[in-house]
Structures are given as C-alpha cells and as structure tokens.
Amino acid sequence: MAVRVTQNAMTNQFQADISKIYAKMAKSQQQVSDGRAITKPSDDPIGAGRVMTFDAQIQESQQNQKSVSESIGFMDTADTALDTVVTALQGIQDLTRKAASGTHNLADMQSIAAEILQLKDVVRDGLNAQHGSAFVFAGTGGTQPYPAGANAYAGTNNPLMRLVAPGQTVAINVSGETVLGVAPNNTLDDIDALVLDVQAGNHQAVHNRIAQMDTDINRALDVRTQMGATVKRLESLKERLSGVEERLTDARSQIANVDAAEAYMNFTQQQTMYQAALAAGTRIMQTSILDFI
Amino acid sequence: MYKSTFMGLNTALRGVLAQQAALDTTGHNISNIETTGYTRQRAEMRASQAWSNPSAFTQTSPGQIGTGVEVLSIERLRDQYIDQNVRQQLGGQAANQTLVDQLGQVQAAFQEPSTNGLSKLLTEFFSAADEVAKNPQESGARQGFASAAEALARGFNQVSADLNNVMLQSDARLNDTVGEINGITSRIAALNTDVKRAIEHGHQPNDLLDARDLLMDDLSKITNYTSTTAADGQVTITFGTFGNIVDPTVAGGSTPVTRADLDAAFPADMTSGRAFADQQLFVNIIPGYLAQLDALATEIVVQVNATNAAGFTATGAAGGNIFDPLFTSAAAMSLDGANSIMLDPRRIAAADSWGGTGEPLNGNNFINLVNTVRGAGNGPLGGQTFEQYYSSLVTALGSQAQAAERNVANADVLVDMAVGRRDQVSGVSMDEEMSNMLRFQHAYNASARVMSTMDELLDVLINRTGRVGL
C-alpha cells in the first residue's frame, strides 16, 4: 500500500521541522551574540566542569601573583633596610679601625664613641624598618623588634609564610636575631662593649674587637644574600605564574567561547534551511484539489 | 412470479440513499479535519439481496436480478496496535520533557558556569582567607574574609532553597496528577457506558470511541497502563499492582487513585509519563543533589572550623567556630552566632602560635587553610577537594540534563513517527475526501437519472398504452 499522506500529517511535519530549525537558530543566535559556548552545564557537561576548574585555577593564580608581588615589595623594604644596616656597620668598623690605631687622644676617642653610638641608632632604626604597618624584622610580632633602650630582640622567630603558588609556601622575612645574633651577644651588645672600650681609650681592646665586628657584618651580609636569592626565586615564579595564567585563560576560552566564524556560518546555514523549509511548506500546503474542481 | 414493475424505482432509490449516506460521511470527515483525535470514517456499501432467491416456488428465470445497494456500516479506520505504540511513545516523551524542564530549573539553581555560582563564592572564600593570612593585622582583610564566609553560607542556602523549590513543584504536580488521572478515568467510565449502550442497539459509536481514545492518549502522557477491550466495546484499564482504574464491572466504572497509590506504584509499576518523571525528581534526583550539596557544606563547616580552632585569634585566644557546627546542611549553613566573626573579625584565628607579647602578623594558620585544607582530599567527599567535588557534582548534573535533552529529541522523533503512522491510517485527507465527494455526487446523480428514466418508462406504459379506441 502506498503511503497515505494527509494534509494534517504534512502540516504537523512541517511545524515540527520548522520548530526544530528554529530551536537550532535560537541556540546559534545566542552563541553569536554572547560568545559563550556553555551557558548551562548540559550544553557540555565535561566542558562545564573544566571551565569551572579553570576559573578557580585562574583566580588562584591571580591571587598567587598578587601575593608574590606583595612579597617582593616586602622583601625590597627589608633589603633596603639591611643595606643601611650594613653600611652603618661598615661605618662602625671604619671608626673601630681608626680608634684601634692608637694615634688618637682620649678626647678624640670620646667623639669617635659618640659617632659609633649614632651609627648604632642607624642600625637599630634599620632593624625597626616598617613595610606598611608591619615591622619587617620582628617576625610575627607586632611591635618594634629592637625598641630604644634595650638590645634584646622583642620580635618572634616565627616566619611570615606566604602561599606563592599552589602548594608552595615561602618565608618572606628574616628575624632580627638572624641579622644581629642572639642577645646578650648580638651586634648591638658588641657595639656597646666596643663603645665602652673606645671611651676608656683602650686601643688594644678596641683592636681586638675588629674581628668580632667583621663577624657581625658578615652575618648581616649573608642574610642579605639569602634574601636576594629568595627575591630572585619569587621574580622567576611571578613570570611563570603569569605564563600559567595565560595558558589557563587560553585553554578556558577554547572550551567556553564559541568560534565566532563557525557560529556565524552555522547561523547562516540554518537561516537558509529555515527559509527553504518555509518556502516549500507554504507552497505545497496552499494547493489542494479544491483549486481544480 | 414476475418481478414488480416498480422494482427499478426502488433500486434507484437505494442507490440515491446509499450515495447520500456516503456523501454525509464525507461531509462529516471534512468537518472534522481539524478535530483532535478524530478518525476518518467510511460508508461501507454492499449489493443488497438479489431478486429472487431460488426455491421450489420460484419460476426459473435467467439469473438473479440485483436490487441495488445498501450501506452495511460506517467504518472507523483505526489500528489499535498503532494506538498502543503512540501511547508508549507519548509516555516516554512526556517523562523526558518533564525531566528536561525540571533539570533546567535545577541547572538554573546552580548558575554554573558563571560568576555568580558557588564555585566563584568558594574561590573568593579562599582568596579572602589568603588575604587574611598575608595581612592578619589588618581589620579590613579580616572583615573581607567574614563577608566571604557569610556569602558562601548564603550561597549554599540559596542553591539549597532553589533545589527544594523545584522538588516541591514536582510534589505539587504529583498531587494535581491524582485529580487529573481520576478525572480521565471517570470520563472513560462514562464513555464506556455510552459505547456499550450504542453497541447493544446495533450502532457503531465511532465518535464516542474517538473521544475515549483521546482520553487514553492523555492518560498515557501521565503514566503508563495496560488496557483491554471487551466484546461489548468497554475498555478495562489496569495500573500495575494497584489494579483496575477503569473497570466496567464495578459501580461507577472507575476506581479513583490517591497520592499514596501513585507513590506506591513508583518505581516498580510506573515507567513512563509525567508522573513518573516527577516521582523520579521528587524521590531520587533532586534529593540526590541536595544530599551532595549537604555533604559539601558539612565538610566545609567541619574543616574550616577545625582549622580555625587550631589557631589563635587576633587577641591571642584559641580560635572558635567560623560556621555554626550545629547547622551542617546546605540549607541551614550559617556563621556561628555566638562566636560571630562578622561582629568581631578579630575572632578569626589566623595565627598558628601566640608567643610573648603576641603575634599580630602571624597568618600561618590561614596559610594552612588556603594551602593544605583547600588542596586536600576529603574522605566524606570521596577523596576529592571541595572544588573538585562541586565541579563533579555540576558535571554529573549537566550529563543528566544533557541525556534528558537527547532523550526528548529522540522521543519527539518517535512520537512524530508513531503519530504519523496513525495519521496515515486515520487522518482525514482533504484531496481524498473531495475526490470521493465527486464520485459519490456522480453516483447519486446517475441513480437519480435511473429513477427518472424509470419514471419515463412508466409514463409511456401508463399514459400512452391501452389508448386504442379512446
């Protein structure tokens, strides 16, 4: 038996086809106009999950980059402070050598001692340096690590940890004790002892202190070198992180964004199909046997 | 025995009447071309009994003379096997369409992937924690974390409430469904009675049967059932182990179902239709997502609280709870009221130790939160991190919705095919009816012409013969 096609069947089929093409066109139109390939998870379930993961990773990476930049700023402050500290210590060393030479009278020695004490304050100020409200050499403590009038370290030895990459933490500070040594035999104590010897005019005793001052200077210089290494590491990490973010953003957009050219081509194709279906449908459905009776 | 002189007139009359009946049927078909559920009808004709029957008293004559035509019945062109197929496909289509609609709402509740979803809130929560870790002495950073934690809890509340709404919609629709089913079955029962009466009187109740078939189509969109038709034309409809919902042998002809009956039928007896989809959504699907959301909320509450409790606050005290430990469901997740970090952000325990005169710069406990707790797999979450767990939840939801969308597309094709096959048999074709009309019209005219020819013959016989001598 030949297939029996009725007007209603044709109309139904036509309407179903038109609405199918229309749904596709709506989808393409949305993609062309807002550029997103995934507007709800069911558009691409795996893709949606990956987009979410990428989004989290991108934000994490941005947060890490922010932390790295801030850490570098913090360490720059510490480095500048250490620079003045080392310079002051070297100044003290020069004065010490001068005092040890034995060519100065007691009055000269007194003025040298006063100069050394001034430089000691420079050292103290350097170690009390602040980055924002934080004392960079006080560890996790919130007060000056070397308050005036005392030589003992008032900060903590806890490190300031920063998360600089997923699973990667870095201590960005050094404690005052690392720079100056531990009281009662730290650099400030050494300077005080030196000042006493200078004031007493004891050239030999002052001479004996030169070696100790060298040790103190080297300790501070070592710390500076170590911090320099950490800063270098952070700077290379910063570059790597921004590279990672770029790649993540790229990968995300491959999944999440539509290829504009392709989407537009699809849209045009569907439009043609839609018009063809309309033209054919309306022309066939208009005619019936009634036109010929 | 000679045949009647007027027999030809009767034969022509039968022809006229039969063609008229056929024309009436054609008219009925054309009028109902747009009627949903209408089945085309056809006047079945056959030659009426010939004159005369051979018997001992009958004179032999050269063969029988036909007496014309009679309408045997008005046939309804319908195939009940196609109907069964259509109903099966309609049930599948309705179930999948409901799933697609509701899962669409579930997806809307999650708002992923976007910048408003829980994943964004979760990322922001950890970013805020990192800010506290870096600047524990700054009250702004602490306030930021408190807001982020509050926003996260609110986010969970919102998604949970939205999911709950979708679930309650299914519940409400199931309640409505009970009324719909009972309405349909009582109407089918009434039609059953009418059909039986008509058939008993020897009629063919085509239009009543159409109405009943349409109701049965509607019922199949709600749930699956089985049906049998008895010789007297009445249908019996059986709904799984519940038994007959339409049964001509019981008083009233139908047995109403209750919501409890619908619930008891799921999932063993119910396998398609809107009610099936709603049961799935109400009993399995949405509670499943809610449970996963609750598991995630619980684990976040437990881990974040434990981390905070291990640390020291900005005043050097041991840390308390961030989230209220009593409310671990996504719906009720909230900041701890007694130890509100919103009211006093100093309660955030960012420090991992508190020695000497205090460690206001110590954020190491929160470094631990952002680094270790965030990155660690959680046993109750199947060894996944918070973010992995949530992302696989959304992926699973997406897959389920996508599968439902594909099933709807398939079901649409199947329904189109089944309905198309039904239309092939039962649908009214205008061209066909019009050409039939022409045929019946000509046949009618010809029969009428035969009648007037007979009339002329009789005119000659009666008025022109036997006039000799007049």
In this prediction, residue B55 carries a pLDDT of 64
In this prediction, residue A105 carries a pLDDT of 87
Q: Using CA atoms of B10, B12, B15, B19 in order, give the dihedral in degrees to the nearest 10.
A: -120
Assess if residue B216 is contained within a domain: no
Residue B457 and residue B397 share a domain: no
3-class state of residue B323 by DSSP: strand
Q: Is B332 within 8 Å of B157 (Cβ atoms)?
A: yes
Measured between CB atoms, does A35 come within 8 Å of chain B? no
| pLDDT (tens digit per residue) in A166-198 | 889 999 999 999 999 998 889 999 999 999 999
Residue B149 and residue B51 share a domain: no
| pLDDT (tens digit per residue) in A115-158 | 999 999 999 999 999 998 899 999 998 889 999 988 999 989 88
Residue B376 Ramachandran class (φ > 0 left, ψ -120 to 50 alpha, else beta): beta
* Interface mutation vs chain B, best among A4, A5, A6, A257, most B CBs within 10 Å: A6
Domain covering A50-252: architecture: Up-down Bundle (1.20)
Nearest CA of chain A to the CA of B105: how many Å? 10
Assess if residue B184 is contained within a domain: no
Average pLDDT over residues B351-359: 86
With CB atoms and an 8 Å threshold, state whether B434 touches A67. Answer: no
Residue B312 and residue B166 share a domain: yes
Residue B319 and residue B451 share a domain: no
Q: Could you give the percent of chain B with pLDDT greater than 70?
A: 97
Tally Cβ neighbours within 10 Å of residue A229.
10
In this prediction, residue A47 carries a pLDDT of 92
* Among A14, A15, A7, CA closest to A290: A7
- Indicate the number of domains in chain B: 2
In this prediction, residue B59 carries a pLDDT of 61
- Residues forming beta bridges with residue B453, ordered by sequence position: none
| pLDDT (tens digit per residue) in B44-93 | 999 988 876 666 666 656 677 888 999 998 999 998 899 999 999 999 99
Residue B449 and residue B392 share a domain: no
With CB atoms and an 8 Å threshold, state whether B395 touches A256. Answer: no
- Mean pLDDT over each residue of chain A, to the nearest integer: 90
Assess if residue B151 is contained within a domain: yes
Q: Is B77 within 8 Å of B206 (Cβ atoms)?
A: no
Residue B407 and residue B342 share a domain: yes
pLDDT above 90: residue A94: yes
Closest residue to A288, CB basis, from B113, B388, B430: B430
CA A187 to chain centre: 34
Assess if residue B181 is contained within a domain: no
* Interface mutation vs chain A, best among B78, B112, B361, B440, most A CBs within 10 Å: B361
CA A274 to chain centre: 53
With CB atoms and an 8 Å threshold, state whether B133 touches A60. Answer: no
In this prediction, residue B467 carries a pLDDT of 79
Q: Is A99 within 8 Å of A203 (Cβ atoms)?
A: yes
Assess if residue B321 is contained within a domain: yes
Domain boundaries, chain A: 50-252
Average pLDDT over residues A55-72: 94
- Host domain of residue B393: 112-174+276-416
Residue B446 and residue B400 share a domain: no
Assess if residue B164 is contained within a domain: yes
Helices (H), A101-185: 106-127, 176-180
Assess if residue B138 is contained within a domain: yes
Residue B161 and residue B24 share a domain: no
Nearest CA of chain B to the CA of A280: how many Å? 19
Residue B22 and residue B167 share a domain: no
pLDDT above 90: residue B113: no
Residue B301 and residue B160 share a domain: yes
In this prediction, residue B54 carries a pLDDT of 61
Binned at pLDDT 50, 70 and 90, residue A4 comes out as confident
Assess if residue B116 is contained within a domain: yes
Residue B388 and residue B450 share a domain: no
Which A residues in the span 55-84 are in contact with B, Cβ-Cβ below 8 Å?
A: 55-56, 59-60, 63, 67, 70
| pLDDT (tens digit per residue) in B197-216 | 999 998 889 999 999 999 99
Closest residue to A6, CB basis, from B123, B412, B423: B423
Residue B373 and residue B322 share a domain: yes
Listed in sequence order, the residues at least 6 apart from B56 whose beta carbon sits closer than 8 Å to its beta carbon are: none
In this prediction, residue B57 carries a pLDDT of 65
In this prediction, residue B210 carries a pLDDT of 94
| pLDDT (tens digit per residue) in B236-267 | 999 988 999 999 999 999 999 999 999 999 88
Nearest-by-CA chain A residue for B352: A158
In this prediction, residue B58 carries a pLDDT of 62
